[in-house]
């Protein structure tokens, strides 16, 4: 039987935790512009990770 190696914190989960931290620090009334810029930053981060790998 294979031993499953699971990473508790992958890059994706860390990114989601970071987004959640920003989201809760701004409060739940986040404006759409801020959400859009956050999404753009995340997409740029994904692209740069792809380039680095």
* Domain ranges for the chain: 11-52
Q: Which of 50, 47, 49, 41 is nearest to 19 (CA)?
A: 41
pLDDT tens for residues 7-35? 666 777 778 878 777 776 665 555 667 77
Q: In the chain, what is the straight-line distance between the N-terminal and C-terminal CA atoms, in Å?
A: 31
pLDDT of 39 strictly over 70: yes
Q: What is this structure's pTM?
A: 0.33
């Amino acid at each position: 039987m294979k031993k499953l190696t699971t990473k508790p914190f992958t890059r994706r989960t860390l990114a989601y935790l970071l987004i959640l931290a920003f989201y809760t620090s701004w409060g739940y009334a986040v404006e759409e512009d801020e959400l859009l810029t956050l999404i753009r930053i995340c997409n740029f981060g994904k692209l740069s990770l792809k380039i680095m790998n």
